[in-house]
């Protein structure tokens, strides 16, 4: 996935973390790198204070992976 150039503005609440933002917006807590890279002015701390503005990049899927999918699933994956 690659950044599309568009962002969602997220205002943190106390105790939020990079991985929690990745889980909320991408469904994968390990995919926090694009968020960190989009916010070079935000310190990389274990938890956020409340009120920090975070730009969350909107990611675009680059390709559909069809390897090892059953035939009925391949045609569905290509049209999604």
Is the pTM value of this prediction over 0.75? no
59: tokens are 């990611």
Distance, in Å, from the CA atom of 3 to the CA atom of 38, rounded to the nearest integer, reads: 9
Report whether pLDDT(63) > 90.
Answer: no
Q: What is the pLDDT of residue 73?
A: 66
Segments of the chain assigned E as strands: 2-11, 53-60
Q: What is the pLDDT of residue 66?
A: 57
* Angle 4-7-8 from CA coordinates, rounded to 5°: 140
* pLDDT, tens digit, 9 for 90 and up, residues 3-40: 556 899 999 999 999 999 999 999 999 999 999 999 99
């Amino acid at each position: 996935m690659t950044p599309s150039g568009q962002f969602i503005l997220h205002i943190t609440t106390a105790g939020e973390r990079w991985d929690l933002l990745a889980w909320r917006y991408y469904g994968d807590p390990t995919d926090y790198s694009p968020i960190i890279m989009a916010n070079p002015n935000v310190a990389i701390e274990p938890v956020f204070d409340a009120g920090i503005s975070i730009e969350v990049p909107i990611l675009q899927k680059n390709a559909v992976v069809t390897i090892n999918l059953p035939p009925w699933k391949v045609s569905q994956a290509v049209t999604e």
